[in-house]
């Protein structure tokens, strides 16, 4: 079966499942499932960084099917996030994850001026986190003693498209300057000699001087958290798409090559490429995100090189679809065995962005994607 036919078949199974799942979870903002039923962060934690992915899934499905139910659910998710937009301490580096998937997606599809306003407010807040001395966007908020004011993280590359969008809409180059400065800093300090990436880099927030890299959600200092590697692959190629700067594509390819060379024989992506050899913990989200990034690299490269990234992304997705996905309506999630952080107590559960990036990757293959980033 050709890869396109395979992806079309998976797309059909996604649509059949989500028609039921979205309907029965209409008024929620899910993060994970408990016994196969989506939880709801609406009242639990409206500022949580993943709260846009449900809306993003709904926009992808609306774009692919034109079923109004999805648009209504996505709009409800977007409006609920206004509480977050009004809460300064709930705003952080993850604004792209929350508002590109909701408000900006809505604006792209419908031109809604309220959504445009939300997107720009979020972009302004993100731009306001820029540290001029160190040329990075600050990660997280004050931990109580000010000691994390100089922290930047690899994940933040995925939020830069909110600034690129704001620049493209307003033609105000400040958004572009900030996004590029952060991407340049990531290229210089996060990408290691062996093409793996750090999760956290600490800079002196006053002088901007690089201090050290830290362990984060992976196994430890100097380890190789797979979702961080995946954020780098997708994040750098997105910066390339928005700016045309060749070195960003170079970084995306380098990290992708490292990622592909590190996948164990099983084909399942571990939580950290440097976790102990007897540790079998997996993170399917890393596989979904890396596949999205590789498919974008495949689009901007040619010939044999392009086929390598395209085939690698398909291999990751096929392994997931066969062994890690549930397309029945018996449970709300699609993707299983996702892990938020190596040292968390809970591992290998369902996480909403696993489903989001799996759907996005499949829709990239079928041509049904709404480009969110």
Applying the rule CB under 6 A, the residues between 301 and 330 that interact with ligand GLY are: none
Phi-psi region of 192 (alpha: psi -120 to 50; beta: other; left: phi over 0): beta
Residue 78 makes contact with ligand GLY by CB under 6 A: no
Give catalytic status of residue 94 as yes or no.
yes
Give catalytic status of residue 39 as yes or no.
no
Whichever of 163 and 308 has its CB closer to ligand GLY, that residue is: 163
Whichever of 18 and 283 has its CB closer to ligand GLY, that residue is: 283
Query: Minimal distance in Å, beta carbon 49 to ligand GLY?
Result: 6
Core vs surface per residue 277-293: b (16+ CB within 10 A) or e = eeeebbbbbbbbbbbbb
Whichever of 63 and 337 has its CB closer to ligand GLY, that residue is: 337
Residue 217 makes contact with ligand GLY by CB under 6 A: yes
Whichever of 174 and 214 has its CB closer to ligand GLY, that residue is: 214
Q: Contact letters (x/-) for ligand GLY, 153-182, by CB under 6 A?
A: --x---------------------------
Residue 262 makes contact with ligand GLY by CB under 6 A: no
The residue of the chain with the least Cβ separation from ligand GLY equals: 155
Q: Which of 94, 283, 332, 355 is catalytic?
A: 94
Number of CB atoms found within 10 A of residue 190's CB? 27
Residue 340 makes contact with ligand GLY by CB under 6 A: yes
Applying the rule CB under 6 A, the residues between 37 and 56 that interact with ligand GLY are: 49
Query: Minimal distance in Å, beta carbon 271 to ligand GLY?
Result: 11
Whichever of 217 and 239 has its CB closer to ligand GLY, that residue is: 217
Tokens of 3: 């890869």
Q: Which of 92, 155, 272, 355 is catalytic?
A: 155
- Give the catalytic positions in this structure: 94, 155
């Amino acid at each position: 079966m050709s890869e396109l036919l395979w992806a079309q078949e998976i797309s059909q199974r996604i649509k059949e499942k989500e028609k039921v799942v979205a309907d029965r979870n209409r008024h929620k903002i899910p993060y994970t499932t408990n016994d196969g039923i989506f939880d709801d962060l609406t009242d639990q934690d409206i500022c949580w960084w993943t709260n846009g992915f449900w809306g993003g899934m709904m926009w992808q499905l609306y774009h692919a099917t034109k079923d109004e139910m999805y648009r209504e659910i996505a709009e409800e998710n977007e409006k609920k996030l206004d509480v977050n937009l009004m809460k300064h301490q709930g705003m952080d580096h993850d604004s792209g994850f929350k508002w590109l998937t909701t408000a900006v997606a809505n604006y792209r599809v419908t031109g809604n001026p309220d959504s445009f306003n939300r997107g720009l407010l979020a972009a302004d807040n993100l731009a306001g986190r820029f540290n001029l001395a160190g040329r990075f966007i600050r990660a997280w908020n004050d931990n109580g003693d000010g000691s994390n004011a100089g922290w930047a993280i690899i994940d933040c590359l995925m939020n830069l498209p909110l600034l690129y969008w704001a620049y493209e809409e307003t033609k105000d180059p400040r958004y572009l300057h900030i996004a590029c400065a952060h991407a340049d800093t990531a290229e210089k300090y996060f990408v290691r000699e062996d093409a793996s990436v750090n999760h956290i880099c600490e800079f002196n927030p006053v002088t901007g001087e690089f201090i050290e890299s830290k362990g984060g959600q992976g196994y430890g200092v100097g380890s190789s958290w797979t979702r961080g590697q995946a954020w780098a692959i997708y994040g750098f190629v997105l910066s390339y798409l928005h700016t045309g700067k060749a070195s960003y594509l170079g970084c995306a390819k380098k990290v992708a090559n490292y990622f592909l060379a590190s996948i164990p024989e099983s084909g399942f992506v571990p939580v950290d490429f440097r976790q102990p050899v007897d540790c079998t913990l997996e993170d399917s989200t890393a596989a979904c995100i890396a596949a999205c990034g590789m498919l974008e690299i495949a689009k901007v490269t040619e010939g044999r090189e392009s086929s390598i990234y395209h085939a690698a992304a398909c291999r990751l997705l096929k392994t997931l679809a066969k062994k890690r996905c549930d397309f029945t309506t018996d449970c709300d999630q699609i993707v299983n065995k996702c892990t938020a952080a190596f040292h968390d107590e809970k591992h290998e559960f369902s996480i909403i962005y696993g489903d989001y990036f799996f759907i996005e990757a499949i829709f990239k293959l079928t041509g049904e994607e709404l480009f969110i980033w």
